[in-house]
Amino acid sequence: MSRTHAIPPDQTRRWLEPGPVVLLSTAHNGERGIMTLGWHMMLGYDLVGTYIDPGNRSHALARGSRECVINLPTADLLDTVVRIGNCSSADEDKFERFGLTAVESSEVDAPGIGECHARFECRLHETRITADYPLFVWRVVAAHAAKRPKWPRTVHYRGAGQFMISGDERSRRALFKPEMLES
Ligand SMILES: Cc1cc2nc3c(=O)[nH]c(=O)nc-3n(C[C@H](O)[C@H](O)[C@H](O)COP(=O)(O)O)c2cc1C
């Protein structure tokens, strides 16, 4: 017995949301970009895949520089996150428009965003896939995170303008094999 009904395959994202919405910052030839990005996935402990549509200015900046910073915003930045995702770096500098602090990175030229809870500096790891498909596979080469709050209230996109805010924490450490808790 099943409680399900058929849904269009292109609505999959509403159920399989991949994780917190991030702000991806880039810089190339004196130009800076920020885009809102929901479609990402871990591909290893320090490898992250991101889908960056070729229509976005950030695609050209990421491709040209082969670097980016993945910034983790929290719920207090939700309106800014949505607004950043509804305009283009081709038209304006989003750091200036949204009053965000450009933080110098330690390993890449792209600046991070000071208002975010964490920043992951990335270098392009894999180019074969990106040649055929707008999937960028990044290696995290440096990372910075705030110590508090321990569990930041991240924002998660369900599609159709609807967001889920994280916050209901539960530990199940007792159910894990010890070796599964190492990382
Ligand atoms: C919540 C949200 C999630 C988004 N996720 C993605 C994504 O995963 N990949 C993508 O290419 N665009 C995504 N977008 C759209 C880009 O953020 C948007 O096109 C942005 O304006 C691109 O900026 P740019 O032209 O400066 O690169 C998302 C937008 C929003 C509001």
- pLDDT digits 0-9 by tens, 100-146: 999 999 999 999 999 999 999 999 998 888 888 999 999 999 999 99
Distance, CA of 102 to chain centre: 17
Best residue among 14, 36, 58, 113 to mutate for probing ligand 1, ranked by most atoms within 8 Å of CB: 36
Structure confidence by residue, pLDDT tens digits, 4-14:
999 888 888 88
Please identify which residue in the block is written with the tokens 């960056």: 52
Q: Are strands 135-145 and 118-126 parallel, antiparallel or unpaired?
A: antiparallel
pLDDT reported for residue 37: 98
Residue 120 tokens, joined: 């992951």
Structure confidence by residue, pLDDT tens digits, 11-31:
888 888 778 999 999 999 999
Three-state DSSP at 81 gives helix
pLDDT reported for residue 128: 86
Q: Domain spanning 19-144+152-180: which CATH class is it, in words? A: mainly beta
Q: Is the pLDDT of residue 66 over 70?
A: yes
Share of the chain above pLDDT 70, in %: 99
What is the whole-number distance in angstroms between the Cα of residue 37 and the centre of ligand 1?
A: 5
Residue 80 tokens, joined: 């800014």
Using 50, 70 and 90 to split pLDDT, how confident is the model at 69? Answer: very high
Segments making up each domain of the chain, as ranges:
19-144+152-180
Helix (H) or strand (E) holding 94: helix 94-97
* Residue 96: partners with Cβ closer than 8 Å, 6 or more residues away: none
Which pTM was predicted?
Answer: 0.95
Does the beta carbon of 82 lie inside 6 Å of ligand 1?
yes
pLDDT reported for residue 50: 97
What is the whole-number distance in angstroms between the Cα of residue 95 and the centre of ligand 1?
A: 16
Best residue among 26, 56, 113 to mutate for probing ligand 1, ranked by most atoms within 8 Å of CB: 56
